Amino acid sequence: MTEIKRFQIAIPQADLDDLRERLARTRWTNELPPDPDPDPEARQTGPVPPGWERGVPLSYVKDLVERWRTTYDWREHEARLNTYPQFTTEIDGQTIHFVHARSPHENATPLILTHGWPNTFVEYVGLIDELTNPADPADAFHVVIPDIPGFGFSGPTHEAGWNRHRVAAAWAELMRRLGYERYGVHGNDAGAFVAPEQGRQNPDNVIGVHVNQLFSFPNGTPGEFDGLTEQEMGLLQFLQSFHSEMSAYADLQATKPQNLAHALADSPAGQLAWIGQLLGTAVDPDTVLTIATIYWLTNTGASSARLYYEDRHAEHPTEPTTAPTALASFAYDFRPIRKFAERDHSNIVAWSEFDRGSHWSAHDAPDLLVGDLRQFFRGLRKG
């Protein structure tokens, strides 16, 4: 059961023909006229773009569905993804699909990167060449990019309990099977919950934890707002707005994911709209369609949503993590307050804030993300 098998994506043409036929038969919803545009400052700093106040606009979905049906070439993207070495193995009763790209530099640092929802391993494939073969061999990584169980080519989960802790344990076993005793971890979105747990569970193996978010909120402790600067109080207001505007999908998936699952399994346009609410305009259209195609072909809309349910109904440790931790915080994303982050993570050794990039920095600010990964792990190597 520990065998690692080579994997290539090879979708039957009949599945692609069925997808195109379903797209052609899409029945469109109705919608109200968009709200008036906010002022320029709100347009830049608000948690949702203009026209998205009530959810994903009809125009966004119509345009992408037409592109998906007529000009998008899955075979082209399938071939590109297949240029990266992919594998599957079974861990804890679950198929795990992953990319394993070794650096030509033998002393490279192993690095496992965990994607978010509604993404897949596709989130990081654009970083592979820069990470594995940099100009300076001292910055090289051996890269491992798995699909979280329930996502993409890891396939649907078949039992309850796949929360952040179980995923972190599976990643430890995956790295052991690959022969990596000491390695770094990175995560974004859902991966930013998994990565700190990897450090917590395996302190002798994880040399450092790099994330794009530290999801630390006020918890009602007396005096917890004491000492916050005016800027941090402004951040707190933004966080409250971010949560109220962006948490509807998370609340549904964390409480009744099966309610939506039936629609996602039957309508590719619906699947596209559901993941488009977060991928939105930050990710280029063909990448959005590649991700949507993977979700559709693997029928993992329901199982990916279940991660939220399993995580909300899990017991989580209350003591802070202790692994060396780095944050790379991007301009148009969740921006944590350091006081609360240090309450939950006692060994934050690097804190970078960037003036561009979104929640999907691997797609829209890859140079900044790669640079921050190099800088953080370069310091750990020297240490």
Confidence of residue 47 (pLDDT cuts 50, 70, 90): low
d(CA 43, CA 358): 14
Alpha carbons 95 and 88: distance in angstroms, whole number = 7
Q: What whole-number percentage of the chain has pLDDT above 90?
A: 83
> Against a cut of 0.85, is the pTM above it?
yes
How confident is the model over 231-250, as a mean pLDDT?
Answer: 80
Residue 323 pLDDT class (50, 70, 90 cuts):
very high
pLDDT tens-digit readout, 350-361: 999 999 999 999
pLDDT of residue 7: 98
CA distance 142 to 177: 14
The pLDDT tens digits for 287-313 are: 999 999 999 999 999 999 999 999 999
Tokens of 81: 């993804």
Phi, psi of 112 (to 5 degrees): -110, 130
Would the pLDDT of 242 be above 90? no
Give helix then strand counts, H and E, for the chain.
17, 9
In total, the chain counts a number of residues equal to 383
Tokens of 216: 């630390």
Residue 34 makes CB contacts below 8 A (sequence gap 6+) with: 50, 51, 53, 57
Domain architecture of the chain: domains with CATH:
50-382 (3.40.50.1820)
The Cα–Cα gap between 51 and 74 comes to: 29
Residue range 176-217, pLDDT digits in tens? 999 999 999 999 999 999 999 999 999 999 999 999 999 998
* Digit-coded pLDDT (tens) for 1-28: 689 999 999 999 999 999 999 999 999 9
CB 146 within 8 A of CB 97: yes
- According to DSSP, residue 84 is labeled S
How confident is the model over 98-104, as a mean pLDDT? 98
144 vs 380, higher pLDDT: 144
* Residue indicated by tokens 């402790």: 221
